[in-house]
Structure 1
């Protein structure tokens, strides 16, 4: 229990390990080892707490209630989690476009801010689209494991038949309506990052651990976040927590015309009908 409480204090305060160790009467080295052990134990709960539900009908309805976006089962985005410099030859791999050392973490969330998929192994210099291209969730979407459903993402992703992005230069009323619904639906993932970084301040500061230990800590945060949702934690319902918005996102290169047509058909067939 003391080890768990020490780790929770580190998560909640983002203090230096020396400070956290002093709180429970252990050395910095012991505190580091305890945080590693407990984080790995919590992260191993990932299959139980971070997963897509077998029946996604309820998720689709919850997203539809937000902005009337059809067949939507998730919102995807990445956020940078700052770390100390790893040092050595690999350090520059972790330097992101804002010149900070970080991990670039990808999540897919539902309408209730619950994390259904997380990828927390890529250095900060890696583009969001590259992470998605190499993720298991992409293959599951391609294979239609979730049926004829889609997820939404920002302009940092390529528009495809299963991942829909905003129209860059909307002209028609239907395109404007589509963009509004897409952005409102996508906002849940930005709110999720806002809640995560409010609950675990170390995510907004810097994780002062060896780079090899950071991944399990990030996954542990996601597990605890989902447990908090299951327990209906009050933090989720506070309106004063700002979303974590990437103000310097990179635009992905568009894919072929067929992928664009999937989005166009949705706009011309469905969103046009909402205007009548």
Structure 2
């Protein structure tokens, strides 16, 4: 995640995209295809689309830099499960990072996670959603650029499971180096095919999440 010195710049860059305040990163999961590892636990790696994968949680900034990555989870794990058990969630709960993430409806809306509003009824809610979705698009663009640089991430990784994590992390590091060296990659703006829709796994809105989201609506979107 960004250092305390970098946070102000990260938040300002995100805010410039669509006027969404205090964003420290956009988060989502992406499935990296792997070969079956065999054995009793093989089916744990089969995701809802039917293929074996690692569910990789990534947090990006507005420059498409990968600021946090968790590649420990089998493909059947839901995005919210990965997030709830992540070191990042623990740091946020310990108030180590000031700000909030933007996620889709697969994540529970809370103090540190702002998600879209379902069934909007006011203009403020619609403006919030437009800003949230436009800003959150950076994570889909990050996945697109990362996988365009390293096509192996979109194909089946035919290596031992214990080596898969190292490959995923190494490509993330090299992706960041390429961005810092202004090595650009062009992609279209269509969503990734392998990002599983969150609509069938929407998380309930907590009272804390509703409170903080209402504060944002009142202060920035009314």
- Calculate the TM-score normalised by the size of structure 1: 0.76
1:207 and 2:136 correspond: no
1:169 to 96, 100, 119: 119
Cα separation, partners in 2 of 1:168 and 1:152, compared to 1, 3 Å: same
RMSD between aligned residues = 1.4
For the residues of structure 2 that align with 1:256 and 1:207, how far apart are their CA atoms?
38
Residue deviations 1:192-247 (CA, integer Å, cap 9, x gap) = 00011111111111101111110110001100000001111121xx3536442625
- The equivalent residue for 1:48 is none
Q: Which has the higher helix share?
A: 1
SS in 2 for 1:117: strand
Unaligned runs of 5+ in 2: none
Counterpart in the other structure of 1:114: 65
Q: Compare CA radii of gyration and give the structure with the larger one.
A: 1
Partner Cα separation in structure 1 for residue 65 and residue 103 of structure 2: 16
Check the 8 A contact 1:82/1:207 in 2, yes or no. Answer: yes
2:140 aligned to which of 190, 194, 206: 190
> Is the contact made by 2:32 and 2:153 (CA closer than 8 Å) also made in structure 1?
yes
Instruction: Report whether the alignment pairs 1:126 with 2:54.
Output: no
Superposition deviation, residue 248 in structure 1: 2.7
Q: Secondary structure at the match of 2:104?
A: coil
CA gap of 1:239–1:195, structure 2 versus 1, over 3 A, is: closer
Q: Where does structure 1 lack aligned partners over 5 or more consecutive residues?
A: 1-50
Establish whether residue 227 from structure 1 lines up as the match of residue 168 from structure 2.
no
TM-score by length of 2: 0.94
**d(CA) in 1 for partners of 2:179, 2:107:** 28
Q: Is the 8 A contact 1:108 1:117 kept in 2?
A: yes
Q: Tell me whether 1:248 sits opposite 2:197 in the alignment.
A: yes
- CA separation of 1:171/1:78 partners in 2, compared to 1, >3 Å: closer, same or farther? same
* Matched residue SS, 1:88: coil
